[in-house]
Homo-oligomer: A and B are copies of this chain.
Amino acid sequence: MQVQGLKNISLFQDAIQKELQKFSEKELPSSPEKLYGSIKYALTLGGKRTRPLAVLLGCDLFGGAVTNAMPAAITVELFHNFTLVHDDIMDAAPLRRNAATVHKKWNTNVAILGGDAMLVKAYQLLNTLNVKNKSEIIDVFNSVALKVCEGQQMDMDYETMNEVTIADYLLMIELKTAVLLAGSFKIGALIAGANSADADKMYEFGKQVGITFQLKDDILDVYGETNKFGKQKGGDIISNKKTFLLLKALELSKQNAVINRELHKWVNAIDFNEEEKVNAVVGIYNTLEVKKMAEEEMIKQYNRALEALNSIGADEEKKKQLSLFSNSLMNREV
């Protein structure tokens, strides 16, 4: 049964890849070269195509034909890539998935405008959906898109805020990361004609899976294998990114003056050896066992996701497929 589930997922993934390829060839003309070239480039950088897969899985769960959902699947992938291109400018990130970011390969202006055009293309594609409730689906997409912007603003605000709580952090990742996955599942369900209660449950499921996904991201940045992940190992530590791990460590270290001083020393350090900082902070994380706590939080969110999924009245085999999918996100190594 597990193999069955994963096999379906892999079929969907192949279909998404082909559709993205087709989109790139047919919908992105050669001129103006920088505008469309930067979009093509951003799309070839790959990634797991998790969000379009969520659209197809959401549609499939309610017996919809996944081909009907394909324009929406590509829409959410375009939207996701638009956010990556703009976020990479804001974070001054030189690399994404081991390749130069758009603003590094071209320049900031190309990345701003290429991102803008990618967002417009996303809307253009979404409007090709051939379903009666298209207007409702566009509403869901808009609401999600706006929340993602809010989450990104909060993420930037947190950089200079002194006191960020775990609750603040969970709200931020909900908006910045989780609602797009939530919306993807919901849109898929709506395309298949799911009723509004079930569509909302799919949203809830996706939201919890999305939070789990981001917590895993935080863990992998510190404890993952560098090459697989395609980012600098410990990059979050070097840049003092307020992840679950750091916030938890800051919270717990209040009980231990020595560790507290040591942690603040590294957070406030201006001139430092990067490897030394990463090793020292990982040492503190290990002492305080924050990885374990992040994993516990992840499992809590994951169980909530399963609860939402189980409350949906749909084919049990297909539900199994969704739980396999969410499980694979939580247990991924990259």
Contact = CB atoms under 8 A, between A and B. Distances in A.
Given A127-B135, A142-B120, A142-B123, A35 B113 contact: no
B32 A113 contact: no
A201 interface: no
Contacts of A34: 153, 156-157
Interface in A94-143: 108-110, 112-113, 115-117, 119-121, 123-124, 127, 134-135, 138-139, 142-143
A89 to B, nearest CB: 6
Chain A interface size band reads 35 or more
Copy tally for this chain in the complex stands at 2
A127 B127 CA distance: 11
Contacts of A120: 119, 142, 145-146, 149
A154 interface: yes
A124 B32 CA distance: 28
Contacts of A154: 32
A149 B109 contact: no
Interface of A: 32, 34-35, 86, 89-90, 108-110, 112-113, 115-117, 119-121, 123-124, 127, 134-135, 138-139, 142-143, 145-146, 149-150, 152-154, 156-157
